[in-house]
Amino acid sequence: MSKKPEKKEVGTTGHVWDGIEELNNPLPRWWVWIFYATIVWGIWYSIAYPAWPLLKGATEGYLGYSTRAEVAADIAAVDAKNADLVGKLEAADLTALSGDAELYQFAINGGRAVFAANCSQCHGSGAAGAKGYPNLLDNDWLWGGSIEDIAFSVTNGIRNEHSPDARWTEMPAFGEILSKEEIAAVVEHVRAISGQEADAALAAAGETVYLDNCAACHGDAGEGLRDMGAPTLNDAIWLYGGDVATLTETVTNARFGVMPAWSEAYHPAGGLSAAEINAVAAYVHQLGGGE
Amino acid sequence: MSSSETPPSLYAAHEPVFPRRVSGFFRSLKWWIMAFTLGIYYLTPWIRWDRGPEMPDQAVLVDLASRRFFFFWIEIWPHEFYFVAGLLIMAGLGLFLFTSALGRVWCGYACPQTVWTDLFILVERWIEGDRNARVRLWNAKWSLHKARLRVTKWTLWALIGLATGGAWVFYFTDAPTLLVNLVQGTAHPVAYTTMFILTATTFFFGGVAREQVCIYACPWPRIQAAMMDEDTITIGYRDWRGEPRGKLRKGEVDPAQGDCIDCMACVNVCPMGIDIRNGQQMECITCGLCIDACDDMMAKIGKPRGLVDYLALKDEVDERAHRKHAPIMKHIFRPRTILYTALWSLVGFGLLFALFIRPEIDMTVAPVRNPTFIVQSDGTVRNVYDIRLRNKQGEPRPFGLSVNTGTNLSIHVEGIDGTLVIVPADEMKQVRVYVDAPKGSPESTTDRSPFTFWVTDLNSQDRASVGTIFNGRTN
C-alpha cells in the first residue's frame, strides 16, 4: 500500500550495493550525547568504585566501598538491634522462657541456626539422630529432657575430658565378666522385657544374670536410670539397636557415647555463648519430646 | 560515491514541535479521556473502603510492608500473585486486540506519555500562546518577558509532576496520613525520593522529551506493526482525493486539482511533527488531531470531510476503484480480533472463577519428612506436619484442628493445649502438629496411610480440609 513518494526527501549515505542505496536516517544528536555521557560516567565509576582487576585483588576506588564491609555493617546492625534480646536470653530463667512470646520465638529461631551449624553433624539436620547419636524428637531422654537438663548437657557435654561437670558414667565391658552363654541369656532377657521376640527358656535364665549385673544401673524392670545415663531397656527405643547381634555387641564391649562440652569455657575450638546454649536448648526442647 | 564529497552527518539535531490548537470531535474525545484517566490516577488513593477495625480503610492499596494488595472488596496475598500475572496477560492481550482492530489507539489516547504530554502542551499554550507565538518565543532572544513565561511554564510543569509523583506514593500507604506527614516533613525518605524522581521524569518526559520518547525510546511502535494488517482501522490521507494538491485561489477553479489545499493544518497540529500525507509512518501515534484540523478546513472551503480520516488500508483499494468500502464493523470483526477477544475473555473468566472459588479458610499442610516418622518409647509412631492457617478476615478467628474419623490417629499442637489455634486478623499462622498412631495400629505399621486434616472456624462453623499421608514403621 505504498503511498505517494516521500515529500520530505530522505537523503542517502551514498553507499550503493547492487543498485541498493542506503538511506540516511540519522540518529538524533542527543542520543550521541547520552553515549558520551555513559563514557564519562564509566570513567568516574571506575575511579570511585572497585573496578580494575590487578594481580592481587582490584583497585579499591576512592569511595572505599566494599560489599563485604556492607555485609559486616548489616550484621553489626542486626546484632545491635538484637542485643537486648540476647542479653535477656543469656540471663533467662529457662523454665519460664515460653511465657515471653517474643523472647521464646527469638530463642527458637536462633536455636535452629545454632543446631544446624553445630549439632546436626551427629544428631541429623532433622534432629532424628543416628546409631549411637540420640534421636532428639522422641520422648526418651538418657540424661533428662527438661529444658534445663538439655542446657546442662549442651554446656558440659557427655563423657568428655574438657568439662569437669561433664556427665560421666561408664558401662563395663561384660565380655570380660560374663561367659558367652550368660551374655546370650541376658540378651534374650532384654529382648523379652522390651516386648520383642525372645527365647523364653534363655530369657528366664538371663533374668538372674540381668538382676546381678545390669539392674543396678538399668533398673530391675529395665526402666533405666537418668542419674547414670543408663538407657531404658523396656521401651521401643534403641540407641544402638535392639537386635540380638547389636545387643550382644553392646553387652560384650559396652558403649561409651561422647559429646563435646559446648560452653565457651570448655570447648577447645570456641564453643557457644550462654545465650546460644539457651537458644539451642529451647529449640531442642520444643521439637516434640521436651519434658 | 565519490570520495571528494563531504559525507552526510550521521546525527540530526532535534527539531522542536509546536502543535497548534485544534478543536473537533477527536480533540474533545481526547480531553474527556485525559480527564477520565488522570482523574482515576489522582483520585483513586483517596477512596475509602471499610474492612473492619484492624484493616486499612483505603480502597486501593499496595501494602508492600505486609505484602498485601487491596482492591475494594478484593484482597490479594503473596501466594495469589497469579492474579496480578493474569491481569498483566489480559493487559497484553487487550493491547494486541485494540491494536489489531484500531491501530495505535493506545498510543494516541491512553498512553501516559501521550496524556501527560497533552496536558503539558495545554499548559504551554496557556502560558506562551498558540503555535505562532511559541515559535516566535522560541526564536526570540532571552529577555525578561521570555524568562518570565518560561519560568511560569516550568513551575506549573513541576507542580503537575509533583502531583503525579505524590499520587503515586499514595497508592502504597494510607493517603491522608502520608499527606500530613509529607507536609510536615516527617514522611519516610523513600516517599520523598520517589516523588522527586517521578516529578523529574514527568517534567522531562512530558515537557522536554515528548515525541522523542515515542520515536526512539518506546519499543511499542516497532512491535505494533506485527498486530496490524489491511483491515486495521488507522489514520490515513486520501491522496486519491486530495492530489494533486494546490493552493486554493479565490475565483479560480482548477478541475484537475485535488481537494488538498496544502494549508499545512494537519502538519501544524501534529504533536509528533510529521506530515500524515506522507502515508503510514512509525512516528504516527494516531491521535486523530490531523482529522479534526482537516475536517475544519474542508468545512471552510465547502468540501466533504474526511480527506484525512480513520480508514483501513483495504478501503484505499476499494475507494480508488470507486467501490463502496466494507463497513467498519466488518473490518473490526475478523478472525484475528475474535481470537484476541476469546483469549482475553478466557483469561478474564479464569481469573474471575479463581476469585470466586477462593476459600474462606485457607490451610496448607507440609508434612515434615526429616525424619519420616518418630518412634516413641511406648511404640507409638509419630508424624509431624507444618500447617499454615491463613485468616483473610478483619478480626481474629479461632480454628479447631482435627483429623478425619475412622482412623486411629490422634493429634496435638506444639506449644498449645488442645487443638484450638487462634489466628490474628489478616495474618498467617504456622503451627507444628504431631499426629500419633498407637503401637500396633494399622497406620503405625503401614508404609503410607492417607488421612485428612480438617480445620473448622469455630465462630462460623465453616470447614476446610486437606488430604495428606501418614508414614508408618514397616520394619
The CB-based long-range contact list for A35-42 (8 Å cut-off, 24+ gap) reads none
Coil, helix or strand for B399? Answer: strand
Answer whether residue A291 is part of any domain.
Answer: no
Residues B87-118 have pLDDT tens digits of 999 999 999 999 999 999 999 999 999 999 99
At residue B5, the pLDDT reads 60
Residues A58 and A185 in one domain: no
Chain B nearest C-alpha distance from A161 (Å): 31
* Cβ neighbours of A140 in B, within 8 Å: 376-377
- A151, part of any domain: yes
φ/ψ of B397, rounded to 5, equals: -130, 135
- Do A272 and A204 fall within a single domain? no
User: What are the backbone dihedrals phi and psi of residue A126, each rounded to the nearest 5 degrees, phi first?
Assistant: -95, 10
Q: Residue A206 region, left (φ>0) first, then alpha (ψ -120 to 50), else beta? A: alpha
Please provide the average confidence, as pLDDT, over all residues in chain A: 92
Note the pLDDT tens digit of each residue in B404-453.
Answer: 988 999 999 998 888 999 999 888 999 999 999 999 999 999 999 999 99
* A135–B374 CB contact, under 8 Å: yes
Q: What architecture is domain B361-471?
A: Sandwich (2.60)
The whole domain housing A30 covers 1-65
Angle between the N-to-C axes of helices B82-102 and B335-356, in degrees from 0 to 180, rounded to the nearest 10 = 160
pLDDT, position B242? 87
Distance from CA of B147 to the nearest CA of A (A): 24
pLDDT given for residue A57 in this prediction: 84
| Assigned C-alpha cell, B259 | 481537494
Does A15 lie at the interface with B, CB-CB under 8 angstroms?
yes
Domain match, A181 and A240 both: yes
In a domain, A290, yes or no: no
Cα gap B138→B140, rounded to integer Å: 6
Span B38-50, mean pLDDT? 94
What is residue A130's DSSP assignment?
A: B
CA dihedral angle for residue A73, residue A79, residue A82, residue A88, rounded to 10 degrees: -160
- Whether A194 and A223 share a structural domain: yes
Give the residue from B215, B375, B436 with the most A CB atoms within 10 Å of its CB, the best one to mutate.
Answer: B375
- Residue B140 is classified by DSSP as S
Contacts with B, A 83-122, CB within 8 Å: 98
Give the count of beta carbons closer than 10 Å to the beta carbon of residue B49: 15
Residue written as grid cell 551427629: A122
CB-CB: which of A29, A128, A236 is closest to B11?
Answer: A29
pLDDT at B359: 79
pLDDT, position B151: 96
Q: Which run of H or E residues covers position B109?
A: none
Q: Cβ atoms within 10 A of the Cβ of B290, count?
A: 29
Positive or negative torsion for Cα A127, A133, A138, A140: negative
- Percentage of residues in chain A with pLDDT exceeding 70? 97
pLDDT at A11: 76
Q: Answer yes or no: do B243 and A4 touch at CB < 8 A.
A: yes
pLDDT at A7: 45
Query: Do A37 and A87 lie in a common domain?
Result: no
Quick one: how far is CA A199 from the chain centroid? 42
A residues 23-62 near B, CB within 8 Å? 24, 26-32
Is A137's CB within 8 Å of B371's CB? yes
pLDDT, mean of residues A211-232:
94
Domain boundaries, chain B: 229-326, 361-471
Q: Note whether A147 and A279 are same-domain residues.
A: yes
Residues A144 and A281 in one domain: yes
Mean pLDDT for all residues in chain B? 91
Identify whether A224 is part of a domain: yes
- Give the residue from chain B lying closest to A223, CA to CA: B377
**Among A152-161, B71-80, B200-209, B243-252, which is the least confidently predicted range?**
B243-252
Residue B464 phi/psi, 5-degree rounding, is -145, 155
SS3 category, B49: coil
For the ranges A270-279, B63-72, B388-397, the one whose mean pLDDT is highest: A270-279
A30 in the same domain as A86? no
Residues B113-152: pLDDT tens digits?
A: 999 999 999 999 999 999 999 999 999 999 999 999 999 9
Comparing CA positions, the residue from A272, A101, A147, B438 lying closest to residue A136 is A147
- Chain B residue with minimal CA distance to A231? B377
Sign of CA dihedral B339, B341, B343, B349: negative
A246 in a domain, yes or no? yes
Under the banding of pLDDT at 50, 70 and 90, the label for residue B48 is very high
Query: What pLDDT does residue B214 have?
Result: 93
pLDDT of residue B425: 87
Indicate the SS3 state at residue B364: strand
Test mutation, A6, A125, A137, chain B, max B CBs within 10 A: A137
Whether A137 sits inside 8 A of B277 (CB atoms) is no
* Residue finishing a domain among A65, A93, A108: A65
Packing angle, helices A67-90 and A274-285, rounded to 10 = 70
A81 and A147: one domain?
A: yes
Query: Per-residue confidence at B51, pLDDT binned at 50, 70, 90?
Result: confident
- Mean pLDDT, residues B53-77: 89
A148 inside 8 A of chain B by CB: no
Model pLDDT, residue B6: 65
Q: How many distinct structural domains can be found in chain A?
A: 3
CB B112 within 8 A of CB B160: no
| pLDDT at position B247 over 90 | no
pLDDT band at A6 (very low <50, low <70, confident <90, very high): very low
Euclidean distance between CA atoms B275 and A169, whole angstroms: 99
Which chain A residues contact residue B214 at CB under 8 A? none
Contact criterion met (CB < 8 Å) for B414 and A140: no
Judge contact between B66 and B172, C-beta under 8 A.
no
- Which residues of chain B lie closer than 8 angstroms to A239, CB-CB? none
* A:B CB pairs within 8 Å: 103
- The answer on pLDDT for A8 being more than 60 is no
Residue A7 touches partner B, C-beta closer than 8 Å: yes
The per-residue pLDDT for range A159-174, each reduced to its tens digit, is 999 999 999 999 999 9
pLDDT in tens, B147-168: 999 999 999 999 999 999 889 9
The residue of chain A nearest to residue B274, with distances taken between CA atoms, is A8
pLDDT number for residue A2: 39
Q: Tell me which residues of chain B have a C-beta less than 8 Å from any C-beta of chain A.
A: 1, 5, 7-14, 212, 216, 230, 237, 239, 243, 275, 277-280, 313, 316, 368, 370-371, 374-379, 382, 384, 414-415, 432, 434, 439
C-beta atoms of B216 and A31 within 8 A: yes
A contact test, residue of B11, B266, B284, B325 with most A CBs within 10 A: B11
What is the three-class DSSP state of B433? Answer: strand
Contacts of A16 in chain B (CB under 8 A): 1
Cα distance from B52 to chain A (closest Cα, Å)? 26
- Clarify whether residues A263 and A243 are in a common domain: no
Pairwise CB contact (< 8 Å): B316 & A30? no
Task: State the pLDDT at residue A9.
Answer: 64
Confidence of residue A31 (pLDDT cuts 50, 70, 90): confident
CATH code for the domain of A210: 1.10.760.10
Could you tell me if A187 and A196 are in contact, meaning their C-beta atoms sit under 8 angstroms apart? no
Mutation site, A35, A139, A196, interface B, largest B CB count within 10 A: A139
Distance of alpha carbon A164 from alpha carbon B157, whole angstroms: 79
Between B251 and A230, the higher pLDDT residue: A230
Domain assignment present for residue A32? The answer is yes
Kindly state the cell numbers that stand for B99: 491494536
Domain membership of residue A31 (yes or no) is yes
> In angstroms, rounded to a whole number, what is the distance separating the alpha carbons of residues B100 and B332?
8
- Answer whether A5 touches B (CB < 8 Å): no
Residues A105, A147: one domain? yes
Cell reading at B297: 478546513
A133 DSSP 8-state letter: B
Nearest beta carbon to residue B379 from set A6, A14, A236: A236
Closest in A26, A138, A288 to B11, CB measured: A26
Q: What is the pLDDT of residues B222-234, one digit of tens each?
A: 888 888 999 999 9
